[in-house]
Structures are given as structure tokens and as C-alpha cells.
Amino acid sequence: MPLLLGLSFSASADTPASGLPMASPESVGMSAQRLTRIDDFMQRYIDDEMVAGTVTLVARRGKVVHFEAHGMKDVERAQEMTTDTIFRMASMTKPIASMALMMLYEEGWFQLDDPISDWLPEFSDMMLEVENEDGSTSLRPAQTPISFTHILTHTAGLMNSYRGDVPRYSQVSAVRGDEDLASWTERLATLPLRYEPGTRWEYSAATSVVGRLVEVISGQDLDTFLRERVFTPLQMHDTYFYLPADKVDRFATLYGPDADNNNRMMLTEVGDQNSRYVAEPTTFFSGAGGLVSTAHDYIRFQQMMLNGGELDGVRLLGPKTVELMFANHTGDLPLWLSGPGMGFGLGYSVVLDRAVAHTSDSEGSVSWGGAFGTLFWIDPAEELVAIVLTQIRPYSHIRIREGFHNVVNQAIVD
């Protein structure tokens, strides 16, 4: 099914305080009774003290049919979750930073197969670390330059904090003081590659390099570019790299499992987490995971993408560019994080085979999640966008994100 055009989230007679247009579920082919299963599902996780609270949002055919807050934003302070609660989006920043770079692609600044060293010379003449038969490692020149496609699809070969030489990566890539994205990127480029670009998929901080490319090509820092060219036009008024002090009371508390990892939560020490997001603005803006936002703002961004790059008369991309972003660019490379049956586009994972992927999402659906338990997906075939926001880390001991797919998709009846 082609990308949808002309859908709007502008104010109307049926617009509640959230500012999003609503519709009865049945008017867009969903069951009101079945949508209540989302509430029941979330409440079970809250009752079992696996998460403190959630915000869930489902839109179909350009209309919101479900938008609910459950549980607590802060248990200790007895603050209830609200639909305007602000969350750490973590890696759900990545599609936004990737889209920003594709805005510059549309202006003709680069081709996807161009080497990024045309703009970031620190990535010229990269070395590849190879393991010898005796277990030692040695360096040799990489044969393939890192291209724009590689950096957008996590196939650039960059070292990362997930697998490989994690200590060395962590030491080099840690943000230092008040440094900017330029110095951080230059330091990252001093590490050798883990594999030839284009030959493997490895999740990494590549999207922060995407953000640096936006800065160099546009001449603006990533914060300014996104605010002026994305957030303000789309009326995303609660999306920031650094949360203003007057909105801190809407910021959700981060939780984690107890010491026995038995699903029961305890309050995480959030001082460092808050200082990362609530501070005087600096010059380091992580395209890989720096944004905070709300369900309201994030649905506006992803509905714009489902609409083929336009929302409420504001066009950020052309439909063909959105189609290109939603296409699989990684061939049959295995994605260890997303699993079998999945591919990767330009900033989004893509369902290639729903049976192999064990998902009720349609083939061609795109998605991604964040490190604090957040998730979204877009299903173009079903004209649907869904978001679940919570704040828990780690979250690998629960399956709230996987189950959310089920309780949303089962409510589609037409």
C-alpha cells in the first residue's frame, strides 16, 4: 500500500486537550472493545510492579483511537502518569536524526554511496582490526570507505559498546566535559573498524555520526537544525536535547528491577540520568539517543513519515524519499538485535517476513525502540502508528514491547 497523503493532526471539533484529532475506533476499522485490551495489558505490568506507568497511543488513518496514561510517573512522590509526561526517548532519537540527514540528501548535498569522509575527513584511511590465528589482533587498511548508507544502517564497521572491544570503545567514546559533537566524532574515528563496511550489521553510535554530518553539511548544530526545521514546523513543543527547568515536573522517573532482578522495581539513582537531560544546553547533541519527548510530539513526527513526509501542510520530505528510508538496505545481513525476518532501512528496522520475525505487523512495517523501554512502529499497509512509552532499564526481563504489538494489532477489524 502506498504511503498515505493528506492526513492531518490539526485542531478540529473532536480534538481534546492533547491537540490530536480523535475518531471512534469503528470509524477507522478498529474495535473499541478490543482496544481496551491495551489498558488491561498495561495494568497487569503495573500491578505486578514490572513498570511504574505507561503512556500508549494508537492512530489509524490519521486519527487517534487510543491515547491513555496508566500508573505512576513517580511512585515515591505519588505523581500519576499523564498523557503529557515527558520521557527519555533514547534510541527513538535515531529516526529523527536520520530523517534530518535525508532532508539534506533531498537538497543534493550528497549521494548515499558517497564516502562520509567527503564531509568528515577524520574517517579517511580507516584501519580494520583483524584477529590472528593465535588470538592476537593486528591492523590493516580497510578496503571499503564508509558511505552514507553504511552510517545510516549500522553497517559502517564502527566499534560499539555492545560487542567486541567494549572497554576501549567506552573509554574513547565517553563524552568529556563540555565537548561538542565535532571533537567526539574525531575521537571515535581514531578507533579501528571491527569489520569491512557493508559486510555486517552491528548496532553502534553511528547515528551520532549522522548528527555530525547534519551539522557539517547544514552549518548548524544538530539542536538548532532540528528545532528550526523539524520540531517548530511540526509543533513538537516538548521535544528537546536538554529539558527546560520549567518542564522538569513533567519528566518521568526512571526505574529498574530490584537487586534480585525478579521484576520488582526499585527507584533508580536518577541524579546522573537527570543531569544528562536537564541541564544548561551544551554543544554535544546525540543523534543516537539524546532526545526527550512526549507521545503527542512523537506521533506527530511518525505520522508525518507515514503521510509521505507531510503533516498539517508542512512538508519535510518527499514521498519517494520516505519510501527510500523504509526500504531494506541491508540485504540478507542478519540483524542480531531485531532478529530473523527483519531488515534495516535508513534509520528504521523493516519487517521482511512476518512469519520468520514472529510479528503480527505487516511486511514493510518499520519500527525502533529506546533503551528505557519505549517503542513505536509504523504499519503503512494498515495505515497505523503505535507508541508505548515507559521508563525502565534494563527491560530485557519483561516483554511489554512485544506484547504491545499483539494487543494493538488484534484490535484491527477492517
> Between the CA of residue 156 and those of 46, 179, 191, what are the distances in Å?
39, 24, 13
Using a 10 angstrom Cβ sphere, with 0-12 exposed, 13-18 middle and 19 or more buried, the burial of residue 117 is middle
Residue 275's pLDDT is 52
**Mean pLDDT, residues 143-170:** 89
Phi (first) and psi of residue 109, to 5 degrees: -75, -25
Q: In 3D, which of 154, 175, 158, 164 has the Cα closest to residue 123?
A: 158
Share of the chain above pLDDT 90, in %: 77
At residue 212, the 3 state secondary structure works out as: helix
Give yes or no for a contact between 25 and 388, defined as CB atoms under 8 angstroms apart: no
The answer to whether the beta carbons of residues 44 and 51 sit under 8 Å apart is no
Helices (H), 115-191: 148-153, 166-173, 181-188
Separation of alpha carbons 310 and 300, rounded Å: 10
Contacts (Cβ under 8 Å, ≥6 apart) of 214: 97, 100, 101, 104, 220, 222, 225, 287
Task: Give the pLDDT of residue 173.
Answer: 80
- Can you give the pLDDT at residue 409? 98
What is the per-residue pLDDT across 100-135, written as a single tens digit (0 to 9) for each?
999 999 999 999 999 999 999 999 999 999 888 887
pLDDT at 336 over 70: yes
pLDDT at 13: 39
Of the two residues 257 and 218, the one the predictor is more confident about is 218
Reported as a pLDDT band with limits 50, 70 and 90, residue 31 is very high
pLDDT band for position 408 (cuts 50, 70, 90): very high
Q: Cis omega (within 30 of 0) on the bond before 340?
A: no
The whole-number pLDDT of residue 69 equals 97
pLDDT of residue 106: 98
Count CA atoms within 13 Å of residue 75 on its CB side: 19
Q: Write down the pLDDT at residue 132.
A: 84
**Domains of the chain by range and CATH?**
25-85+242-280+294-409 (3.40.710.10), 111-218 (no CATH)
**pLDDT the model gives residue 100:** 98
pTM: 0.93
pLDDT digits 0-9 by tens, 197-226:
999 999 999 999 999 999 999 999 999 999
Average pLDDT, the chain: 90
Q: What are residue 68's phi and psi, to 5 degrees?
A: -140, 150
Q: Which amino acid is at 167?
A: P
Q: Are strands 53-60 and 384-389 parallel, antiparallel or unpaired?
A: antiparallel
For residue 261, what pLDDT is reported? 56
Contact 76, 45 (CB under 8 A): no
Q: Which of 40, 39, 45 is nearest to 399 (CA)?
A: 45
Which backbone phi and psi does 378 adopt, to 5 degrees? -120, 130
